[in-house]
């Protein structure tokens, strides 16, 4: 395969660098060196990048540019061009690993498509940290990003997790946490085990473990800080068609078509779309 950027052209690299979630002394020596030596540091927040460098007693040696959600698409081509021209670009986000619900995916894909080197400086990650301290099974897990903001989308998302056997990890806003946990208790079951991890690695770190119902009642009083939630996976069993029919009707009430709702509810629970659809029709007929 031919070199997409030409055999005589110098090639730099993209470095995805994990940053501390709260304690600057969690930074690796390699992160310090990368901030010092990179030709370009692309940062989700340039002010936080400067503060991080100062706390590490490091001077950012290259050009510092902002790289957050709203400018990610516009900034990517120039950064890829710089890498193709021989520059080392270090990408950092406010905390944790780039690309994990943070900027990074777009430029990684662009570099991969252009045949440019991409590497990572591993380090702190709220996902694996929360999983480790949650006391939930960790052999298999799924990361669900941020919990949906709107009630209908959140219900649909939780419904898809009803029979998910893997431990689920996701982020949530402290302002919406109580609503999310209440909805999870209703849809996944009040006794489903979970953990809420708040301010991981920081001074006021707190890990609350309990049932979804217990955690929802605790969160109702208000919670502050960065939140990561871990929910235990489902125990395999026969699908409850009446419960799935209830969920289908709720999704329909929120504006989703019945066939689409039934198709979504089949994920991971062993029930077929036809079974759920027929149960809904049967119950509607019985209610006439």
Domain boundaries, the chain: 13-124, 127-231, 241-287
Count of Cβ atoms closer than 10 Å to residue 21 Cβ: 22
pLDDT at 46: 97
Kindly report, residue by residue over 169-194, the tens digit of the pLDDT. Answer: 999 999 999 999 999 999 999 999 99
Task: Compute and round to an integer the Cα radius of gyration of the chain.
Answer: 23
Encode pLDDT of 67-89 as tens digits.
999 999 999 999 999 999 999 99
Per-residue pLDDT at 7 exceeds 60? no
Same CATH topology for 13-124 and 127-231?
A: no
Does the pLDDT at position 272 exceed 90? no
Contact predicate 247/156, CB 8 Å? no
Confidence bin at 100 (pLDDT 50/70/90) = confident
Residue 2 has pLDDT above 70, yes or no: no
- CATH code linked to domain 127-231: 3.30.950.10
pLDDT digits 0-9 by tens, 15-58 = 999 999 988 999 999 999 999 999 999 999 999 999 999 999 99
Domain covering 13-124 in this structure, CATH number: 3.40.1010.10
Please enumerate in sequence order all residues whose Cβ is within 8 A of that of 239, keeping only pairs 6 or more positions apart, or say none. 163, 269, 270, 271, 275
C-beta atoms surrounding 233 within 10 Å: 20
Number of residues that this document lists for the chain:
288
Per the prediction, the chain carries an average pLDDT of 92
Percent of the chain with pLDDT over 70: 94
pLDDT at residue 12 is higher than 80 = yes
- What is the pTM (predicted TM-score) of this model? 0.76
The token pair at 195 is 């953990």
Hey, what are 27's tokens?
Answer: 């930074």
> pLDDT by residue (tens digit) across 215-243?
999 999 999 999 999 999 987 666 788 88
Residue 256's SS3 state is: coil
46: its two tokens: 């340039």
Q: What is the mean pLDDT of residues 125-144?
A: 94
Q: For residue 227, what are the β-bridge partners?
A: 172, 198
**95: pLDDT confidence band, cut at 50, 70 and 90?**
very high
CA 183 – CA 220 distance, rounded (Å): 12
User: Is residue 127 very low, low, confident or very high in pLDDT (cuts 50, 70, 90)?
Assistant: very high
């Amino acid at each position: 395969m031919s070199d997409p950027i030409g055999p005589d052209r110098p090639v730099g690299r993209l470095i995805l660098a994990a940053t501390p979630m709260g304690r600057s002394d969690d930074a690796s020596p390699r992160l310090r060196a990368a901030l010092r030596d990179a030709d370009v540091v692309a940062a989700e927040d340039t002010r936080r990048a400067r503060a991080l460098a100062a706390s590490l007693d490091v001077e950012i040696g290259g050009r510092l540019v902002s790289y957050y959600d709203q400018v990610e698409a516009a900034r990517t081509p120039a950064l890829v061009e710089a890498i193709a021209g021989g520059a080392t670009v270090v990408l950092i986000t406010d905390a944790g690993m780039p690309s994990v619900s943070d900027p990074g995916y777009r430029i990684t894909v662009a570099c991969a498509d252009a045949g440019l080197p991409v590497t990572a400086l591993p380090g702190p990650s709220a996902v694996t940290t929360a999983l480790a301290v949650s006391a939930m099974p960790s052999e298999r897990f799924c990361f669900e990003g941020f919990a949906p903001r709107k009630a209908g989308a959140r219900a649909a998302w939780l419904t898809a997790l009803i029979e998910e056997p893997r431990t689920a990890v996701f982020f949530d806003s402290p302002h919406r946490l109580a609503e999310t946990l209440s909805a999870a208790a209703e849809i996944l079951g009040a006794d489903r085990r979970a953990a809420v991890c708040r301010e991981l690695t920081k001074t006021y770190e707190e890990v609350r473990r309990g049932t979804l119902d217990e955690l929802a009642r605790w969160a109702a009083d208000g919670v502050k800080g960065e939140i990561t939630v871990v929910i235990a996976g489902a125990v395999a069993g026969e699908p409850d068609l009446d419960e799935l029919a209830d969920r289908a009707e709720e999704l329909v009430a929120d504006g989703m078509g019945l066939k689409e709702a039934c198709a979504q509810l089949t994920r991971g629970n062993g029930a077929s779309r036809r079974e759920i659809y027929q149960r809904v029709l049967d119950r509607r007929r019985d209610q006439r």
